[in-house]
Amino acid sequence: MLNQAGNAQPTIFAEMSALAMRTDSANLGQGFPDEDGPEWIRELAVDAIRAGVNQYAPGRGTAELRHAIAAHQAKHYGITLDPDREVLVTTGATEAIAAALIALTGPGDEVVTLEPFYDSHAASIAMAGATHVTVPLLARDGRFQLDLQALESAISDRTKAILVNTPHNPTGTVLTEAELDAIAAAAQRADAIVITDEVYEHLVFDEARHQPLASRPGMAERTLTISSSGKTFSITGWKIGWLTGPAELVDAVLAVKQFLTFTSGAPFQGAIAQALIDGDTDIRELRETLARRREVLIAGLSSAGFETFRPDGTYFVCADATPFLSSELPDGAAFARWLPENIGVACVPLSAFCAEGSPAAAEFANWVRFTFVKRDDTLHTAIERLQKLRAN
Ligand code: GLN
């Protein structure tokens, strides 16, 4: 987070986007759509601004949005929530995760995550003053799998929380029922809270199904479920997310949230409420578009010479860059920093999602992540340029 001079380092996503911009590269690094979400949803926010919805929203979020979030959890997952006590609107999932960790964990506590892990998860655990313990995913049989033995040994009586990201960024893994149940059993044994990051909940493909951990037997009372509207409706800049779970845990998070952002963007809340109620067709269309783009990117990466795993969810494909490494380009990080300048494509190294020197950092040293949440022409430009790698 901070370098030795105490200055904030840019995130790997900001670094790679800046590099992409400078080199006029096709940016398959930072995962954000280069097309706006549905117009009818955007129009609702414009209408709200024109109608004067421009002052602070209530701290928990508007009643309309909290009811819509509760209805969404009931419709998709059969989870029943009290919209007044068990739902909190946040400034994106990122704030919800930070506020939950700061509220519920601190010095002396251990927080377990998968590894690779999303960068803000590690930063938020550090801000809470807790200790980060990781369970590596293993790249086996075409899938990034949970290491069940490592899960066992990561859990101890110091485990205060397990932070679970599924569908998983960066690997695209959607945890299976067996993997979710192993995590549920570990949480129950350690009497730990589970905090989930489910922002890609609707971006799952083929036979894969997303299941919130809160819907597994016995988990509702110890789980805070976090998601957001950014990925589901391609409006990542609106920063409207939410957290749901037991009232006393939600209250603890609200106590922190009120001093982080106080409340979240008022004019967007009504639009998101409507989107959650009426947006199923838009979600289906986005999923179909992304499923098609996933195939386009996988085919392009394979023909360029990468080994890839087909992700079950998210908008990322991970690729093993080993065939292109050399003494000058010893690993995925060096490759990712070389690629924009020399080939005109940006990606992100998986090592950026690993702790330095960890077993996962070694396992994924040669891997990079490409996003397919880009227009067809961007994807085609990138794929065409990547074919030049074969000649190098
Ligand atoms: N979630 C996006 C990704 O994984 C990045 C968002 C950000 O830049 N922090 O690419």
Lining residues, ligand 1, CB within 6 Å: 11, 13, 30-31, 169
Closest ligand 1 atom number to CA of residue 348: 10
227's tokens: 């998601």
Alpha-carbon distance of 354 to 360, in angstroms, equals 6
Strands 348-349 and 367-371: antiparallel
Coil/strand/helix, residue 392: coil
Q: Which of 201, 166, 159, 203 is nearest to 181 (CA)?
A: 166
Show the beta-strand stretches assigned E in 178-222.
193-197
CA of 50 to the centre of ligand 1 (A): 31
Q: Which residues contact 100 (CB under 8 A, 6 or more apart)?
A: 195, 224, 226, 243, 249, 253, 256
Q: Ligand 1: which of 1, 9, 15, 30 to mutate, judged by most atoms within 8 Å of the beta carbon? A: 30
CA of 87 to the centre of ligand 1 (A): 25
**Cβ pair 262, 56 in contact under 8 A:** yes
CA of 55 to the centre of ligand 1 (A): 28
- So what's the pLDDT on residue 307? 96
Alpha-carbon distance of 2 to 389, in angstroms, equals 35
CA of 112 to the centre of ligand 1 (A): 21
Residue whose CA lies nearest to ligand 1 atom number 2: 31
Place of tokens 């905090």: 195
Mean pLDDT by 10 residues, the chain (392 residues): 60 94 96 95 98 98 98 98 98 98 98 97 97 96 94 96 98 97 97 98 97 97 98 98 98 98 97 98 97 98 97 97 97 97 98 95 97 97 96 65
CA of 119 to the centre of ligand 1 (A): 9
Q: What are the phi and psi torsion angles at 8 (to 5°)?
A: -70, 130
**Cβ pair 343, 388 in contact under 8 A:** yes
Amino acid at 117: F
**Cβ pair 196, 141 in contact under 8 A:** no
Show the beta-strand stretches assigned E in 245-390.
307-308, 316-320, 345-346, 348-349, 367-371
Residue whose CA lies nearest to ligand 1 atom number 1: 31
Q: Which residues contact 345 (CB under 8 A, 6 or more apart)?
A: 25, 26, 28, 339, 382, 385, 386
Q: Ligand 1: which of 1, 9, 12, 13 to mutate, judged by most atoms within 8 Å of the beta carbon? A: 13
CA of 32 to the centre of ligand 1 (A): 7
Q: Which of 151, 156, 152, 153 is nearest to 164 (CA)?
A: 151
Alpha-carbon distance of 113 to 120, in angstroms, equals 12
- Which strands sit side by side in the sheet containing 131-140, from one edge to the other? 87-90, 241-244, 223-228, 193-197, 159-165, 110-115, 131-140, 143-146
**Cβ pair 347, 294 in contact under 8 A:** no
- So what's the pLDDT on residue 390? 84
